[in-house]
Structure 1
Amino acid sequence: MSTKPGQLQIALDARGELTTGHVRLVASYLAASERTVWRWLARARPDGHAERQPRKAFTLTDDLLAHLALLGGNCARLHRELIAQERSGGPPAPSTPVTLCDHGSDLRW
């Protein structure tokens, strides 16, 4: 049978037969938390699709790189500043400081 775990869970959920045991089994199989699997199911309920939603790629611009240098390479601090800017109507910030500083360069400060 070529059914993916998520598709089976969606079918069980639609019939009202999904149990916590099913969610635990899939979470274990996918190395995810039970809470994450429940979130995936909640997103899938409206249209029955459980595909991963694409994320917009974050680009570390020259301006951000220069600001990061001014902060002594402190990714967490730059991330906090970007989050504050986003909350006041600025562009979306990366989800984590690791995402912010995982830009593939070998920077030395």
Structure 2
Amino acid sequence: MPTTVSVEHIEMTPGIRGGKPRIVGTRIAVEDVMLMHLKIGYSLLEIATKYDLILAAVYDAMAYYYDHRQEIDIQIAEDDAFVDEFRRQNPGRLQAKIKELKGESEN
């Protein structure tokens, strides 16, 4: 029998964090909590304490992530690809200078 997960602490609002699911009353997205917990290694209690959040809200964020994992992972990958492409097309001054210097030294 499927279990319904409570996500009373999660909301989506157009114009705030691009409409991404986030903890109610904050700009902390579900993906932020997931990245801090699964990628950086913070415990859920550490995240709640660090950002002055209700622990249940942090657990709801992780429950929401697991319920929508494929969708959120795809969005993260698309965001990362966009940033990579933007950086490639718009190198910072340091990268442009390095390319320029490499071009001069190869001639």
Query: Normalising by the residue count of structure 1, what TM-score does the alignment of the two structures yield?
Result: 0.29
Query: Normalising by the residue count of structure 2, what TM-score does the alignment of the two structures yield?
Result: 0.29
Structure with greater helix percent? 2
